[in-house]
Amino acid sequence: MVDDAFTGVEGRLGVTAACRLTGRSRATHYRRLQPPPPRRPRSPRVQPAALTAEERAAVLELMNRDEYAELPPAQIWARELDAGRYHCSVSTMYRILRERGQSGERRRQATHPAKTVPELVATAPSQVFTWDITKTAGPAKGIWQGHCMKRLRHVCV
């Protein structure tokens, strides 16, 4: 619709005036006169210095050895470099670990059993007492009702 109005006015007034009247920028007008050629699909490029699958497996096996199992890749890289061996960069080590899902904490973590909530059980009246420390709103703002002692009457199991 704007294109039809533009072409009708352009022949009489010129490009600049037609652009002002229709609200189209001149850059858009000239861009539409010569659209860019369609892009050709790119061929996938392989980094010439990329590690082969065997080299990646060897680096992963190195990082999972017993002496390195709990160390971060930067320390493994430094220790191997001190020993005169260079396998790959630190970032490549992290990339290999991330691909295998091992990029989290490498140290052994202590596991603790789930904590159980203490349960108070009364088999008869007046056996269990609790101290209620909840604060309930008082008569005015900033004033709270005090603590009170509650007696659980009869909770039988």
| Residue 152 CB neighbours (<10 A) | 14
Query: Which pLDDT score is estimated for 47?
Result: 84
pLDDT tens track, the chain, 157 positions: 567 667 777 777 888 888 888 888 888 888 888 888 899 998 888 888 889 999 999 999 999 999 998 899 999 999 999 999 999 999 999 999 999 888 877 777 788 888 888 887 888 888 877 766 667 777 788 777 654 444 444 444 4
Query: Which pLDDT score is estimated for 2?
Result: 63
Query: Which pLDDT score is estimated for 154?
Result: 45
Query: Which pLDDT score is estimated for 146?
Result: 59
Those residues with Cβ within 8 angstroms of residue 132's Cβ, 6 or more apart along the chain or in another chain: 147, 148, 149, 150
CA–CA distance, 105 with 68 (Å, rounded to integer): 13
Q: Is the pTM of this model over 0.75?
A: no
